[in-house]
Structure 1
Amino acid sequence: MTDTATQPLVSVIIPCYNTEEYLPETLDSVLAQTHTKLQIIAVDDGSTDGTPAVLERYAAADPRLHIITQENSYCVRARINAIARAEGKYLVCLDSDDKIAPDYIRECVSIAEQNLHTDIVYSDAEFFGTRYGTWPLAEFSLPEFLMENSIYITALIRKSAYDKAGGFDPNLTFFEDWDLFISMIKNGSGVHKIGKTMFFYRKRENETSVNNLSSGETVSDNAFKIYQKHYGFYKANGLSYLRLLYTAADAHKKQKKENLKRRGRIQYLLNKWFGKR
């Protein structure tokens, strides 16, 4: 373990809304970090269950945990409010039902400290809860990343780079992390993924995590906002609007052919087993 006096301060941001059942596991994973110089800011986002009591109990036992209370809003506003009070050199945003391995922050900080241009550091990840297994995150590649986010919200980020990028966009109600990472990368931030599983993303009974409760329309609308916002960057990386339309059209045609083949195969089997002989 590194001497605490030489460790950079890391601010861990935890928005909480009605996660009384899961929050202790999340907080325990943070308090177990081998990088101990932490400022933990938990935001009670208008919870109506026992979440506030859980936070108070943990804060009484560990002075590194600070609690902010606010009326219910989307989690991005909770994060923004907490980060406004953050004093750390680095930020880690952790949803209140997920968890991190004991060495997660230490290893991420080590990478960032070795390279001043590496502002986004994360690791391999796994699902847990009602579904277990590897989260198949693609290796970072800019064109592919611009098409589909492959960096989760709990990546360690350099706060100065966060500030330079303008922070989270409060006008987004989904994909705010993707938008932030795009803004940081546009400004020259480097990305590094550690090839070790140290982040654990909870799947609940309804196949969601606390940060994945939006409708298809909301997802589509926010993705389009991001594309409009960063259109120049997308074009510079070969992803003009027309090219995306052609790509989508090709994908639709391929899917249609696959569906026809599948239906034909099913019909063949139905005729084989249940047709007239």
Structure 2
Amino acid sequence: MPTDEHLRQVQGLWPETTLDGWMSDECQEGLVSLVIPTYNRANLLSETLTSVARQTYRPIEVLIVDDGSTDRTPQVVERWREGTDNDLNVQYLCQENQGANVARNRGLLHSSGQYIQFVDSDDVLHPQQVACLRAAIQKPPEGDLVFSEQAKGETAPSWFPDREGDTECSISGPKQVEENPMVVPKNRGSVLYHRSLCRKAGPWDESLIRWQDMEYMFRISALRPSYRRIAEKMYFLREHAEGRIQDLYQQRRGIKGGLNALSRVERVVETADQRHEQACYCMARYYLGIAKLAMVKGDSAQVWKAFAGAQRQVPNTRFSIQLRLARVAYCGLGGKVTKLLLDGYTFLRERMAR
């Protein structure tokens, strides 16, 4: 469990978490709250909700937070509610378009579960996912969080419609998050949190338009929670062309948003003394990605700011050499050519790693 020292560190970084009333600590024992923010995902949402209804575990509370959708989302939700079992507690909350983090916080404020899971409105749950996660987190000694492996692809996996039988889960742990925050996956959908951990971590940062999940994961890790891991793939991350937040990656405002998010993450890591090589590599790689985008759609000040961020992290000698060559190339050859060279280097390295 988080110590008073680590809790003070996180509260010092995020003053709003010191307001004890931001999220109630009262809950219904055994209840799992699934928080599902959605925005114009009517074509995909029905499969996500169907996978929720087919969960073998009960009781489940479903909090669908509609972030100002202008498509058929209300009709999709209503049709789904009419066909679900009465033992599902469903709340459909609507708000003006304010972003996924505002929607997640609203879901948390309305939740009553002892356990919390954040589900994206385009992804799919294994029929036994909630049951396996809940059994793992409750296994003595009770943990702060548990996560499963995940699959990804364009179409739902073969296990999607199946809710027959029981799935045997391989559960590791319990372990404690120590110096390496990367042990907790930044994909929130595969993680089940104890309510008390979400309350101590504080609300999702509503100022961030990019990499919100990474910032939240690093903040969770800064509390040094105990965790267990399920080896089986229980969560399906859908890859598709319909409006994902990744679309911002190719837009100018995504540059500023990325730099802002990474600076927040750096503050958490430094304050929590978690400058592990894997965490540094993650931040350095993301900074370099921002630099490449700024070379094409930003300006030189943003490129050099991203280079500086990557330099602060430099996880190893190979990355240091790559960064040094990128800076020299940018000065001599310009942004477009440097980006092509960096992309080519990444492609060759991935090919050699196969």
| TM-score (norm. length: structure 2) | 0.61
Measured after TM superposition, the shift of residue 163 of structure 1 is 0.1
CA contact (8 A) 1:25 1:99 kept: yes
CA contact (8 A) 2:222 2:268 kept: no
Give a deviation string over 1:31-73, Cα, whole Å, max 9, x none.
0001121010101111111011111222334452210010011
1:244 equivalent in alignment to 2:313: yes
Structure 1 letter corresponding to 2:186: I
Aligned residue in 1 for 2:295? none
Give the alignment partner of residue 112 of structure 1, picking from 132, 137, 156.
137
Aligned residue in 2 for 1:198? 234
Give the alignment partner of residue 53 of structure 2, picking from 7, 10, 31.
31
Give the alignment partner of residue 43 of structure 1, picking from 61, 65, 79.
65
Alignment root-mean-square deviation, CA: 3.4
CA shift in 2, pair 1:200/1:235, >3 Å: closer
CA shift in 2, pair 1:36/1:201, >3 Å: same
Equivalent pairs: percent with the same residue? Answer: 24
Q: Which runs of 5+ in 1 are unaligned?
A: 1-5, 133-139, 264-277
SS of the counterpart of 1:214? helix
d(CA) in 1 for partners of 2:47, 2:117:
17
d(CA) in 2 for partners of 1:47, 1:16:
8
Paired residues for 1:203-242 under 5 Å: 203-205=239-241, 210-215=244-249, 216-217=254-255, 218-234=257-273, 237=276
1:185 equivalent in alignment to 2:221: yes
Paired residues for 1:77-88 under 5 Å: 77-88=102-113
Measured after TM superposition, the shift of residue 176 of structure 1 is 2.4
CA shift in 2, pair 1:254/1:144, >3 Å: farther
Aligned residue in 2 for 1:164? 200
Structure 1 letter corresponding to 2:60: L
CA shift in 2, pair 1:25/1:130, >3 Å: closer
Aligned residue in 2 for 1:71? 96
d(CA) in 1 for partners of 2:225, 2:115:
14
SS of the counterpart of 2:246? coil
d(CA) in 1 for partners of 2:245, 2:193:
19
d(CA) in 2 for partners of 1:131, 1:51:
20
Measured after TM superposition, the shift of residue 150 of structure 1 is 3.3
More helix per residue: 2
1:100 equivalent in alignment to 2:125: yes
d(CA) in 2 for partners of 1:71, 1:104:
31
CA contact (8 A) 2:146 2:227 kept: yes
Paired residues for 1:139-178 under 5 Å: 145-146=181-182, 150-154=185-189, 155-178=191-214
d(CA) in 1 for partners of 2:154, 2:199:
34
Aligned residue in 2 for 1:15? 37
Measured after TM superposition, the shift of residue 99 of structure 1 is 0.7
Q: Which runs of 5+ in 2 are unaligned?
A: 1-27, 158-174, 281-308, 330-340, 346-354
CA contact (8 A) 1:131 1:203 kept: no
d(CA) in 2 for partners of 1:119, 1:30:
23
Measured after TM superposition, the shift of residue 237 of structure 1 is 4.7
Structure 1 letter corresponding to 2:313: L
| TM-score (norm. length: structure 1) | 0.76
